[in-house]
């Protein structure tokens, strides 16, 4: 038997995890944000934002990646990049806003670094307005 040396899945410390209340989870919420929210465009991602209807101060975010981006493996990889970027910049997201990031087909070739930079830029643009 090979001892576990910490290789494989790593979990974030509890204070670094992204709680459920920090994510948009219902389809009706996604549709409302994309239908009524402000839209900002980047090279690989679109950002839709609208004030939270429940008045909570915490920002929530959601991710949409269609089949135009690629197969299931590619789509899941893009979603992981976006979720990790949002988790790390959680304090930089505007307060009291629901956000939805929509991946464009070019997002598949972007990688984590460019994704994190672009999402941070979109969040700054949103705060600046």
Which CATH number do you get for residue 121?
3.30.230.10
DSSP H or E segment with residue 74: helix 72-88
Q: Is residue 79 part of a domain?
A: yes
Measured distance CA(84)–CA(119) in Å, rounded:
11
Query: What is the average pLDDT across 10-34?
Result: 80
Whole-model pTM: value is: 0.83
Q: 42 is in which domain, residue-wise?
A: 21-128
Q: Is residue 16 part of a domain?
A: no
- Residue 51, pLDDT score: 93
Q: Residue 91 — pLDDT band, cuts 50, 70, 90?
A: confident
- Residue 129, pLDDT score: 56
Q: Is residue 111 part of a domain?
A: yes
Measured distance CA(31)–CA(62) in Å, rounded:
11
Measured distance CA(127)–CA(102) in Å, rounded:
18
Q: Is residue 36 part of a domain?
A: yes
| pLDDT above 90 (res 11) | no
Query: What is the average pLDDT across 73-78?
Result: 96
* Cβ pair 95, 59 in contact under 8 A: yes
* Total structural domains within the chain: 1
Q: Residue 107 — pLDDT band, cuts 50, 70, 90?
A: very high
């Amino acid at each position: 038997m090979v001892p576990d040396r910490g290789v494989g899945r790593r979990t974030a410390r509890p204070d670094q995890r992204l709680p459920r209340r920090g994510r948009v989870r219902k389809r009706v919420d996604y549709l409302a944000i994309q239908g009524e929210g402000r839209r900002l465009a980047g090279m690989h991602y679109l950002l839709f934002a609208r004030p939270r209807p429940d008045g909570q101060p915490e920002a929530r975010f959601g991710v949409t990646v269609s089949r135009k981006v690629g197969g299931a493996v590619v789509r899941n990889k893009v979603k992981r990049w976006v979720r990790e970027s949002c988790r790390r910049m959680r304090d930089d997201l505007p307060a009291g806003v629901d956000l939805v990031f929509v991946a464009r087909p070019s997002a598949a070739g972007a990688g984590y670094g460019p994704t994190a930079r672009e999402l941070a830029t979109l969040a700054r643009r949103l705060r600046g307005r």
